[in-house]
Amino acid sequence: MASVAKDITSKITLNDGVSMPLFGLGVWRASPGPVGQTEEAVELALQKGYRMIDTAEMYENEADVGRELKKSGLDREDVFIVTKLSENGYDRCKKIFKESLEKLDVPYIDLYLVHSPKSGKIIETYKAMLELKKQGLIRSVGVSNFGIQHLEGIKSNGLPVPSVNQIELHPWQQKPDIVKYCRDNNIAVMGYAPLVKGQRFDDEALCGIAKRNNKSPAQILIRWSLQHGFITIPKSVHSSRIEENMLVFDWSLNDENMAILDNFPDKSCKPWNPCDVLWTG
């Protein structure tokens, strides 16, 4: 049975014993730099009680996340930091991880993910991450955008399964086979793009559910994700939406509303699917 977040502080215990928040802020496409969007978004989120920030090498805003973490005055162990390696390889992993650690200006990273299986070299990259974990520089090792064949490839090489698989999840991209596989193998499911990148806020059925519940379409989508027990990381750089997105814990969607969302057609939103990427080791 998946854990459902009761409030913004709710956590899940991963398969390696690490405790991870079930809710946080994503900073994909949040612009970096002193006049960028990332610092302001992270600052407000931490002030409002968010305790997980999801960034990546590819986003180019790890340094901004690190600066705001330092400015917040919060203890390092009170904020869960997720980042990702964009291109794979043993030596590259070691090099880029060191750079990420320096940019974030932290002694360790809570969750480090293989961002994609597309560039191959999965096993050598994964082994490098496990070595970094053994050194105490990473608390948990995970993957992102992995299909069942990629997760099976890790197992067949005699390596421990990842703690987390971060995949795109929302009513138009539900990936039930991957979700079931992860849960059967004690891999936590982390859903990115729960707001469908803002592309479906005008959907008639979604807007009807929002109106009946006196909530915004974004809140309905976040609540759907939480009620499925997914670790959920809505992205926003707007202060009002960062606040709105966290007001999803003192109410719930009834079975009828959930059934409508669960039966949305899996079309209209067709990014690349991890199932389409062949295993390349």
Residues acting as catalytic residues: 59
The alpha helices in the chain, defined as continuous H runs, are 38-48, 62-72, 90-104, 122-134, 148-156, 176-184, 204-213, 217-227, 239-245, 255-262
Strands of the sheet containing 164-168, edge to edge, are: 25-26, 52-54, 80-85, 109-114, 138-144, 164-168, 188-192, 231-232
CB 170 within 8 A of CB 196: yes
Which letter does DSSP use for residue 22 in this model? S
Sign of the CA dihedral with 143 first, then 93, 27, and 47 last: positive
Asked if residue 170 belongs to a known ligand binding site, the reply is no
Q: Which two tokens stand for residue 212?
A: 């009946």
Q: Which two tokens stand for residue 189?
A: 């499911």
Q: Look at phi and psi of residue 230 and say left if phi exceeds 0, alpha if psi is from -120 to 50, else beta.
A: beta
Contacts of 240 (CB under 8 A, 6+ apart): none
Residues marked as binding for substrate? 115
Residues marked as binding? 115
